[in-house]
Structure 1
Amino acid sequence: MALTDILPPADWMQRPGLDRLADALDADAGAARYVGGAVRDTLLGLDVSDIDVATIHPPQEVVRRLEAAGIKAVPTGIAHGTITAVADGTVVEVTTLRRDVATDGRHAEVAFTDDWQADAARRDFTMNALYADMRSHRLHDYFDGIADLNAGRVRFIGDPLRRIAEDHLRILRFFRFLARFGDAPDAEGLSACIDRANDLMALSRERIADELLKLLVARDAVDVMRLMVGHGIWTPVLPEIDAAAVERLAALAAGEAAAGIAPDPIRRLAALLDTGNAESVTARLKLSNAHRKRIATALGRNDARQAQETGYRLGVEGAIDQLLLAGEPEAAASLIGWTRPALPLSGGALVARGLARGPDVAKALRLVEDRWIAEGFPGAARTGAIADDVVAQALRATSIA
């Protein structure tokens, strides 16, 4: 990527409604600009999902202008200056320029402003403080963010220690952005994160979990996690993430790559844990019950002899997780696109063959299912033959008894 004054063309710029939004916010007069991730990722040639716009207009004026233009305005974060605009199906977050008034390491009290550089100065990293005019796409770079982006350098705006004091989550964001975009850590930023790692204890575990899960699927997640463990970043809040845990993560990442399976944050978190600490860590991070169950399944063991049997008993997702964590990428890959079959026989079919209703039917059905799985999920005719045999054995056992 070369230094540039103009944001290169990208598909997201053609989304319907953006021209109407630019008109409504008087962007041609410099009152609104694209900002943040959309600008950064376009410069890197990456796909853009979310679009953010910054504007000098106060929130209520933004609402008035959008409604006058027939654009839906949703006051999602109006107290902090953010309005969600929905124009012809395109969703854009529109936020009034802000400056920090007070911070406590977790939350910031802000005031609205019309000063673009003041708004840029309150952002965390130089690569996130890039703006582009909505129509000409001319870039505005107040803190050499483009140069840092070219160098793969994640650099705090201003004094790193002060920026971390404003919001402790910036420690984890520093490493997440390093894993996604960086080539080498900025020395001053890394030093500040190491010095202030204990500040992470003041954060909610939900915020920590959110950043960790995002980091785990970033491009250089393994190397950055090694860096964090080596400098004790996780020790204050997640001491379970140690060198051995990172090596398990490295093995999983290699297995995912070998199997052609995309990285998954919950699976990768499971790799960092073990059966002895998974329950306590997932509870501490306040993961959903579904995610906690998935991690428990991934770390479990079963007696299946083949990949499809594992897939049948655990479900495809659970089987892929477990096989990858067990170091069996080829077996995991064999389940890509595989659909769990349904047993082509019911308990009623066993009753029709002569079994009395009751617990014997359920027991016999399990035996039929086990043999059906072992034979590779045969069709209805073969399954019926298996059922005949199982029922015959059950009836003989009953008569002998």
Structure 2
Amino acid sequence: MALKLDAAKWRKKRGMKRLLAALGADEGLTRYVGGAVRDDLLGLPISDIDLATRIAPDDVIVRLENARIKAVPTGIDHGTVTAVSDGQPVEITTLRRDVSTDGRRATVAFTDDWQEDAARRDFTINALSADPRSGELFDYFGGLADLEQRHIRFIGDPLQRIAEDHLRILRFFRFHARFGRGAPDAAALDACTARANDLMALSRERIADELLKLLALPDPAGTVGIMLSRGILRPVLPEIEPTSLPALKALIAAERSADIQGDPVRRLAALLPRDPPLVEGVAGRLRLSNKAKKRLACTAGEIGASPPHALAYRVGIECAVDRLLLADRPTDAAAIRHWHTPRLPIGGGTLVKRGLPEGPVVARTLRGIEDRWVEAGFPSGEEFERIVAAALGAAR
């Protein structure tokens, strides 16, 4: 693992050189911080770059405007300004220390002490910073060693970190699933277990967002199993029992077998009982988007005896793929994933032109034609005409 960043490479990123000059990076006023530093050291692609600075928020805005860089005060009360440099947004946050916290939000004061700012972050691997000029790394809490060992560890006392922000319980497990190797940090795990009831104080939207991020990872089953064995989710999602884990493991295996991208909503469905009212209740309680609510509700339905393409026609391709994967039928799911749903080649107006009287009989006949067409595998031509003729004959 590299012991410093490639400063020249980072400066080549769009808009970065101009932004760093405006913020006095060469004078030690501004550094790269957070996830981008961590990911670069791990050889992972980086997208969003965050900067921390000793400069006060109002002065950050003045400096940006003087450099003709757009400044957006996205969270200025907490020290955050978003700079848009050559069309590239970058978050800039003034160094802070916590004055008070209640587990959901913090009151902060600004500081010029890099270590004091790093101390308020959650995990050691997230508290690294780097000098934009030299690429030199600053590690106040052993984050480099933890990163090398893929060990997720709270900074300082885990109970204190969780008291400051209860969401860190779920973040710990997500980071372990994404970056961790081996058993979770024992002190962190015990603290999360002891404080699991703190999750009840959080909005369900924040819980859902963090849980879905965890379930979106390539293979979260091992970490989810630890969470369930420790009762982490019980205060907010009692519907998810330890016995749900085999279904999640089977789903992940089916997704891989079908070469279908793992999906967090589908994986959440695997953890829940196949009970449509219960599933709808969970979706509502988590305040999922309308699209996610509909999808989660659809996963709880039955497959029935219909062929996969018939199921896809009835409930939609996405829902059919979900149901088939959850039923451990990866071959069938793969067969329909890129299927283009056909349209019934006839309408009610055509039936009237062919002698059927207007009225309810048209809709009934059309439904009958559609049912037989689907059962027959969506035929066209002469075979479809035989289906229509038989339906018209029976309706007259």
- Please, what TM-score do these two structures have when normalized by structure 1? 0.93
Identity %: 58
Contact 2:73 2:82 in 1 (8 A): yes
Does residue 1:187 correspond to 2:174, yes or no? no
CA shift at 1:220, angstroms?
Answer: 4.1
Query: Are the structure 2 counterparts of residues 28 and 10 from structure 1 closer, same or farther at C-alpha, using a change threshold of 3 Å?
Result: closer
CA shift at 1:348, angstroms?
Answer: 1.4
**Superposed CA offset, 1:169-203 (max 9, x none):** 11111111111110121111111111222222222
Contact 1:343 1:369 in 2 (8 A): yes
Contact 1:345 1:380 in 2 (8 A): no
1:270 matched residue in structure 2: 269
Contact 1:127 1:148 in 2 (8 A): yes
Contact 1:299 1:325 in 2 (8 A): no
**Superposed CA offset, 1:348-378 (max 9, x none):** 1111111122221111222222222223323
Amino acid at match of 2:171: R
Mark the runs of 5 or more structure 1 residues left unpaired by the alignment.
396-401
CA shift at 1:382, angstroms?
Answer: 4.7
Amino acid at match of 1:311: A
Contact 1:201 1:237 in 2 (8 A): yes
1:117 matched residue in structure 2: 115
Query: Are the structure 2 counterparts of residues 188 and 388 from structure 1 closer, same or farther at C-alpha, using a change threshold of 3 Å?
Result: same
Contact 1:275 1:296 in 2 (8 A): no
Give the alignment of 1:288-303 within 5 angstroms: 288-303=289-304
1:343 and 1:93 map into 2 onto residues whose CA distance is 52
1:373 matched residue in structure 2: 374
Of residues 169-178 and 217-226 in structure 1, the stretch that sits farther from structure 2 once superposed is 217-226
Give the alignment of 1:12-161 within 5 angstroms: 14-161=12-159
| SS of match in other structure, 1:91 | strand
2:383 and 2:68 map into 1 onto residues whose CA distance is 64
Contact 2:50 2:91 in 1 (8 A): yes
Give the alignment of 1:301-380 within 5 angstroms: 301-303=302-304, 305-379=306-380
1:283 matched residue in structure 2: 284
Query: Are the structure 2 counterparts of residues 68 and 343 from structure 1 closer, same or farther at C-alpha, using a change threshold of 3 Å?
Result: farther
1:296 and 1:346 map into 2 onto residues whose CA distance is 30
Contact 1:8 1:42 in 2 (8 A): no
1:11 and 1:298 map into 2 onto residues whose CA distance is 46
| SS of match in other structure, 1:334 | helix
Contact 2:70 2:85 in 1 (8 A): yes
Query: Are the structure 2 counterparts of residues 71 and 341 from structure 1 closer, same or farther at C-alpha, using a change threshold of 3 Å?
Result: farther
CA shift at 1:33, angstroms?
Answer: 1.6
| SS of match in other structure, 2:72 | strand
Give the alignment of 1:143-292 within 5 angstroms: 143-183=141-181, 184-276=183-275, 277-292=278-293
Query: Are the structure 2 counterparts of residues 97 and 380 from structure 1 closer, same or farther at C-alpha, using a change threshold of 3 Å?
Result: farther
Give the alignment of 1:382-393 within 5 angstroms: 382-393=383-394
Query: Are the structure 2 counterparts of residues 335 and 48 from structure 1 closer, same or farther at C-alpha, using a change threshold of 3 Å?
Result: farther
Query: Are the structure 2 counterparts of residues 68 and 332 from structure 1 closer, same or farther at C-alpha, using a change threshold of 3 Å?
Result: same
1:354 and 1:73 map into 2 onto residues whose CA distance is 70
Contact 2:15 2:85 in 1 (8 A): yes
- Please, what TM-score do these two structures have when normalized by structure 2? 0.94
CA shift at 1:49, angstroms?
Answer: 2.6
**Superposed CA offset, 1:39-81 (max 9, x none):** 1111112222322111111111121222222222221111111
| SS of match in other structure, 2:68 | coil
| SS of match in other structure, 1:83 | strand
**Superposed CA offset, 1:308-361 (max 9, x none):** 111111111111111111111111111222222222222211111111222211
1:213 and 1:96 map into 2 onto residues whose CA distance is 30
1:12 and 1:350 map into 2 onto residues whose CA distance is 67
Mark the runs of 5 or more structure 2 residues left unpaired by the alignment.
none
Query: Are the structure 2 counterparts of residues 380 and 23 from structure 1 closer, same or farther at C-alpha, using a change threshold of 3 Å?
Result: farther
CA shift at 1:389, angstroms?
Answer: 3.2
Contact 1:345 1:383 in 2 (8 A): no
Aligned residues: 393
**Superposed CA offset, 1:142-192 (max 9, x none):** 111111011010000111111111111111111111111101211111111
Once superposed, what is the RMSD of the aligned Cα atoms? 1.9
**Superposed CA offset, 1:90-120 (max 9, x none):** 1211111111111111111011111111110
1:161 and 1:71 map into 2 onto residues whose CA distance is 41
Query: Are the structure 2 counterparts of residues 369 and 228 from structure 1 closer, same or farther at C-alpha, using a change threshold of 3 Å?
Result: same
CA shift at 1:140, angstroms?
Answer: 1.6
Contact 2:128 2:139 in 1 (8 A): yes
2:295 and 2:14 map into 1 onto residues whose CA distance is 39
Amino acid at match of 1:285: L
